[in-house]
Structure 1
């Protein structure tokens, strides 16, 4: 093993000298197609905080090393996810149980199983794997998946599970490459089919004599608000911030990137940190969503990139006109087409098998609800979901290509070639000092002209604000078209996507592409890709203020980005806290009437909010009070009534502003917030960290940050449990954080990273909470990317792992 390790270490030094050069294509293809013969192996070098640096000879071996190392840290989380993907949750955990919500929106194990069993039964993933590249995944990705499965299985065979969550459980089983591909597919359809699981599996034809479809929704305003909230993931879904700085704003003239994705802190969508290397072929470090064989977000020696959840709507609905004689047939150009029946059987623990039928059309599955919107299947009308991501499995090729990119031009070429990103933007910076923002993602090719010609009444209601198209399914000419540069029918090609290159800063915080740089706004794209000239979120406004000020100041370093990450400034507090405190102090007798009709003494709250430092650091006094007040106020008072100075599209970062303290809801929200905290015995001026925390092995770890509604960059979305002391666990928020720059000499990369929830979900692991403690303290890790730095780690531990 030592001889092999020395050879690999030497090869790694050659790789650094080559700085990302790849071998000839025929050599790479030969490596990718090499059969394992049961002899896959890799070297895993662990440095501080359990971060693995995996070296392998080729793609199957690299996948093997990643699968092994992920199993070592996350076997129970992974195994639970594979139970979901195989449609076996009801068999092991009961039909009425609840999945963790990371693989789909299913509310019960039974709904989840019906959905994923259906995917298995129709061999959807196998068919996509058989598509030749670029329409389907390439050979290198397939070999990575095969190797990952072998590595996971070898760990199960050769190691003992110590995590009490799954030790000795019969549902922990070996996996196949198909399981690994199914995990990738579930991630791809997150914002499409996987977002409507309950509705999809429950849809059934109407019984005889069912009433006709209503001509319009009962509450148009409520429908629009509900869909807008769902698309924006206001219920606590995925999100992110990212910013790239151009070379003339940095201390050494090279690019600089800060990535701050907001992902779940538990379950199958956790990140896991690693460096993966095939000498002379690939050398990239970053965050890998569990089950992924290469980084989804990361850097190599020349390029750093991150992703943010996009506002592009990656799906649409087709309103079907049904055959009057048969509600399971629909008309297209006057001719009836029968729906396809998909009958799925799910074994259930301690009960009989459940058999259900799903209904599919040329456009996709029939569904009956979306984000609170009623899409009733009647004798005249039904609705089918169009999800172009359900017909693609190219995402892993995109991530592998990004790992090999040498500059932002390469990033754009990878995105054009693979077209595999389902619902995210890309922000990148390179060693030459160039920057990139692009919304290159898979979106149905729904132009504003198509909507004008083909929208139904419901579509005309929903498209202008949320951007959700509802097209006339009775006309074949109303299906999404195809761009010449698109690799699959029905989607926009990359040339149609909003893109910003070489701006002093390029930033996104989950608003549309419009203000990726406030001085160079992007316009001219169709509504389905995002809005233009509308109010930005407080998080976007605060981010643009911060990063534009940093760019103007210049001489930036990774230390500046770390400070940005942990400044924990609250833009809502800057805009409204002083006015709130003054309005509070002016209340007669220092009292306000709560929503329960009772008078509450709020005089202490006035003083606490006035003295609050407008941050959500762990030591911030008054942050919790303002948070609970602000949530109530913004939930009850429309944004148009909340501010005295309305939104101005010519001043989108500074408007709206000036809190309207005359709105009656302000005093009520104050009274309710004070009443809530006092009932929970939480002092109004208590430091935030005493009431926003996680508990790891009995130890309480304070957590900083706040929610999107406060505008905080360092997002933390906790579970509110006042009986247990406040926000007692983080649901999702800042996860794999990276601040990356490029050096002039020595190691070409200077990076600081942090995995907020740590590498392992096993409470018996030494890496169960070590990085969480760093996060609590506002610290990050100096990355060991170059071979010499890896070998110099005082905690270096080397494992040579093999299949047999």
Structure 2
């Protein structure tokens, strides 16, 4: 059944007055002042503490951080995170400050990117210029400023107390490791906000030069699927940073209370790695889960009354604007028939030469009133008559911390939902949540440019309408009427208000696996939204169909198990069962074709033999039939006319299915794809009698840990992405990361979770691989949450970290 919504929108004038009052109360602060909100009083003769936090550690290195105020809590988070991942965080501060070329040279790339440092540096210098950073800082409330200041102090104090020569090997005495400022933290937050918008247009922004001038990119047409104006690009991005989540309400669980599964699929390297932590301000906040580096808040997790997870959403967070140019000057554009000069910004980047000598490279960037110019050769060109600019709505989103703070501190589902709708601070993720009473919530409330259906019809030029139908918007920039509209109920100009975006509250279930809001629950389809928000009646991902199918069968009692309600163990089996959904849809037909194989169709004998023996899973003991399947599937998944039963919007969970082998051309295409897949396996050098767990690995020092799971595009719920390691093995680089199940009973939240890649990036740490070993064995870890559980943990230890009012760090065990 659907539970009606209540209206929680606070009067805007009261909210504004409250914000002004908080800002006036905050006044000015510096590292030498005493935090007026702090209870860290000094004993007679001692210097008062500005920040003080207790960091207790339990098994697997999970920190439980307790403090009396927001600044001290963030101080403790930064200190604990630095103990485990200081090199990773230092590297990210270098990136968002545009200083990679200064230390690593202009042509090198990051571990997680193929974009050269010089392009990355120019991009971050553009989006994180002084004015943008100042504006963002001023937009934060006093408590959030306190958290930013506290995090900066915690990170800097860790560096000072540890010493540069005692840091982990990856950054020991690194010239790029330095103390940071509040401005650096703002730059990092902006980097996270822009991940699914400007962050995917780095090459297009840096490569935008006036006609006749050479840019930093070669002017060659992009390959299909390799640029952000191709919808398939975003499908691939959601696979790299996508997720699954299922929220079960009281009508679907064995004990009649809420139950949640969250399985985000994020990179195993770089800043988007999650970190487990537990945050407590007595009487105000008590949340546990995982957060991205630099975040002093739990992003995915639970508190005493609620649990939530996120999935990368399907909405667009930017618009592209096509503007005609003044025929006499390609740096002047026309809006409403009036010429306007583009804004010019010259950016300087320090560059380390091959001889180690620093020099400065300069680059002039151009913007219209909509945003920076972008160039994608052959798709979005800047020529004498036309140019394109990018409006990134999330660069105006300064509410990330405020949003997660509201979620972390919510006492019930009403407060939780109201916080999301009021703040609209989530940049690019859906939210799925449950409470202990058994309500299940889905929201697709994020920062989305305000482009209505009427605007879509009137403002999208004809050549770009097919893109708009898939959620990518190029608008007519020649008229101001086609700029994203302003909603007086939204916290930011040019975006939708939270109350006008998709959400659904149920007592049975909601789910999402990176598809649109449409089929969050097939019994209550979410329809009628602009395509920029949510696209209806389109084919769903295999992971979506798998999740819905398994939940439906469980609740109908048709999955072969007892009863018709979900248990935690059954939910965990859904998460890590490792079924390959699309194998179930086509393998019977593939094997029939194998039995009927014709001469001259390529060498498919070995492929057919392995597929015939394959159990259609990607568990450690499965044979390598999966390698042949995935090679086949990636070659046929977009072949027109492939399906025997095409997609039917009236039956979106069960269609499409089956191969159209009655068509000789399709049958031949499948044979050729099988032969090509066999060649791929041969090139990889995999032994035919090996197991999947001998092929897909996570390297931790000298250990090579077998990892189950497979590609999300193959319909594997436990999505794992790899790259060849050159020795017949596949190295995991992204996929299932922080995975949790949360249920509730009379004793509060009951949580089992794993951080698939472990807490620390330091090979010398005892927590560099311990959870990876547990993930490999599917051994879920019970999370200690209450004070008694934490102190009873066999690995319990505790320390207090302090910064005194005189600015000096101190710590004690």
The Cα shift of 1:236 comes to 5.2
Match of 2:439 in 1: 434
Match of 2:216 in 1: none
Q: 1:139 to 1:33 in 2, by over 3 A?
A: farther
Question: Does residue 133 of structure 2 align to residue 125 of structure 1?
Answer: yes
Equivalent residues in 2 for 1:725-740, closer than 5 Å: 725-727=728-730, 729-740=731-742
CA–CA distance in structure 1, aligned partners of residues 50 and 224 of structure 2: 62
Q: Is 1:269–1:290's contact at 8 Å kept on the other side of the alignment?
A: yes
Q: Is 2:397–2:447's contact at 8 Å kept on the other side of the alignment?
A: no
227-236 vs 735-744, which deviates more?
A: 227-236
The Cα shift of 1:671 comes to 1.3
Match of 2:592 in 1: 582
The Cα shift of 1:677 comes to 2.0
Q: Is 2:617–2:626's contact at 8 Å kept on the other side of the alignment?
A: no
Equivalent residues in 2 for 1:402-441, closer than 5 Å: 402-441=407-446
CA–CA distance in structure 2, aligned partners of residues 322 and 257 of structure 1: 52
Q: 1:53 to 1:373 in 2, by over 3 A?
A: farther
The Cα shift of 1:340 comes to 0.8
Deviations 1:45-92 (Å, cap 9, x if unpaired)?
100000010111111110010000000000000000001111110000
CA–CA distance in structure 2, aligned partners of residues 94 and 27 of structure 1: 44
Q: Is 2:204–2:374's contact at 8 Å kept on the other side of the alignment?
A: yes
The Cα shift of 1:162 comes to 4.4
The Cα shift of 1:632 comes to 4.1
Alignment RMSD: 2.6
Question: Does residue 396 of structure 2 align to residue 391 of structure 1?
Answer: yes
Match of 2:744 in 1: 742
Q: Is 1:244–1:505's contact at 8 Å kept on the other side of the alignment?
A: yes
Match of 1:56 in 2: 67
CA–CA distance in structure 1, aligned partners of residues 385 and 259 of structure 2: 56
CA–CA distance in structure 1, aligned partners of residues 507 and 370 of structure 2: 40
The Cα shift of 1:329 comes to 1.0
221-230 vs 657-666, which deviates more?
A: 221-230
- Matching residue within 284, 297, 315 for 2:287: 284
CA–CA distance in structure 2, aligned partners of residues 530 and 673 of structure 1: 35
- Matching residue within 609, 612, 626 for 2:611: 609
Match of 1:352 in 2: 359
Equivalent residues in 2 for 1:653-692, closer than 5 Å: 653-661=653-661, 662=664, 663=666, 664-692=668-696
Q: Is 2:741–2:753's contact at 8 Å kept on the other side of the alignment?
A: yes
Question: Does residue 796 of structure 2 align to residue 763 of structure 1?
Answer: no
Question: Does residue 783 of structure 2 align to residue 794 of structure 1?
Answer: no
Question: Does residue 607 of structure 2 align to residue 592 of structure 1?
Answer: no
Q: 1:157 to 1:687 in 2, by over 3 A?
A: same
Match of 1:19 in 2: none
TM-score by length of 1: 0.89
Q: Is 2:762–2:768's contact at 8 Å kept on the other side of the alignment?
A: yes
Q: 1:470 to 1:406 in 2, by over 3 A?
A: same
Question: Does residue 528 of structure 2 align to residue 536 of structure 1?
Answer: no
542-551 vs 43-52, which deviates more?
A: 542-551
Q: 1:40 to 1:226 in 2, by over 3 A?
A: closer
The Cα shift of 1:123 comes to 2.5
482-491 vs 76-85, which deviates more?
A: 482-491
Equivalent residues in 2 for 1:56-205, closer than 5 Å: 56-101=67-112, 107-131=115-139, 137-160=140-163, 161-205=166-210
CA–CA distance in structure 1, aligned partners of residues 426 and 700 of structure 2: 34
Match of 1:781 in 2: 781
Q: 1:218 to 1:155 in 2, by over 3 A?
A: closer
The Cα shift of 1:222 comes to 8.8
Q: Is 1:298–1:304's contact at 8 Å kept on the other side of the alignment?
A: yes
Q: Is 2:35–2:51's contact at 8 Å kept on the other side of the alignment?
A: no
421-430 vs 560-569, which deviates more?
A: 560-569
CA–CA distance in structure 1, aligned partners of residues 678 and 688 of structure 2: 7
Q: Is 2:607–2:675's contact at 8 Å kept on the other side of the alignment?
A: no
Specify every segment of 5 or more residues in structure 2 that has no aligned partner in the other structure, as ranges: 1-17, 27-33, 41-47, 214-219, 558-563, 804-808
Q: 1:417 to 1:679 in 2, by over 3 A?
A: closer
CA–CA distance in structure 1, aligned partners of residues 796 and 494 of structure 2: 50
TM-score by length of 2: 0.88
SS at match of 2:157: helix
CA–CA distance in structure 2, aligned partners of residues 221 and 460 of structure 1: 18
Question: Does residue 521 of structure 2 align to residue 517 of structure 1?
Answer: yes
Q: Is 2:632–2:670's contact at 8 Å kept on the other side of the alignment?
A: no
Equivalent residues in 2 for 1:245-284, closer than 5 Å: 245-284=248-287
160-169 vs 792-801, which deviates more?
A: 160-169
Q: 1:298 to 1:279 in 2, by over 3 A?
A: same
The Cα shift of 1:221 comes to 10
Deviations 1:545-586 (Å, cap 9, x if unpaired)?
112223444443322222221101111111112221221121
The Cα shift of 1:27 comes to 12
The Cα shift of 1:218 comes to 11
SS at match of 1:165: coil
Match of 2:43 in 1: none
Match of 1:43 in 2: 54
Q: 1:290 to 1:654 in 2, by over 3 A?
A: same
SS at match of 2:799: strand
Match of 2:531 in 1: 527
CA–CA distance in structure 1, aligned partners of residues 182 and 344 of structure 2: 28
- Matching residue within 552, 556, 574 for 2:566: 556
CA–CA distance in structure 2, aligned partners of residues 274 and 474 of structure 1: 49
SS at match of 1:592: coil
Q: 1:460 to 1:625 in 2, by over 3 A?
A: closer
Deviations 1:408-449 (Å, cap 9, x if unpaired)?
221211112211111111100001100100100010011111
CA–CA distance in structure 2, aligned partners of residues 752 and 291 of structure 1: 24
The Cα shift of 1:219 comes to 12
Specify every segment of 5 or more residues in structure 1 that has no aligned partner in the other structure, as ranges: 1-23, 132-136, 209-216, 594-599
Q: 1:38 to 1:630 in 2, by over 3 A?
A: farther
643-652 vs 547-556, which deviates more?
A: 547-556
Q: Is 2:224–2:230's contact at 8 Å kept on the other side of the alignment?
A: no
Equivalent residues in 2 for 1:213-228, closer than 5 Å: 227-228=230-231
Question: Does residue 480 of structure 2 align to residue 480 of structure 1?
Answer: no
Aligned residue pair count: 750
Q: Is 1:504–1:551's contact at 8 Å kept on the other side of the alignment?
A: no
SS at match of 2:532: helix
Q: 1:393 to 1:222 in 2, by over 3 A?
A: closer
CA–CA distance in structure 2, aligned partners of residues 235 and 414 of structure 1: 25
The Cα shift of 1:224 comes to 11
Q: Is 1:582–1:606's contact at 8 Å kept on the other side of the alignment?
A: no
SS at match of 1:39: strand
- Matching residue within 269, 293, 310 for 2:313: 310
CA–CA distance in structure 1, aligned partners of residues 93 and 221 of structure 2: 41
The Cα shift of 1:374 comes to 2.0
CA–CA distance in structure 1, aligned partners of residues 379 and 36 of structure 2: 50
CA–CA distance in structure 2, aligned partners of residues 724 and 220 of structure 1: 29
The Cα shift of 1:630 comes to 2.8
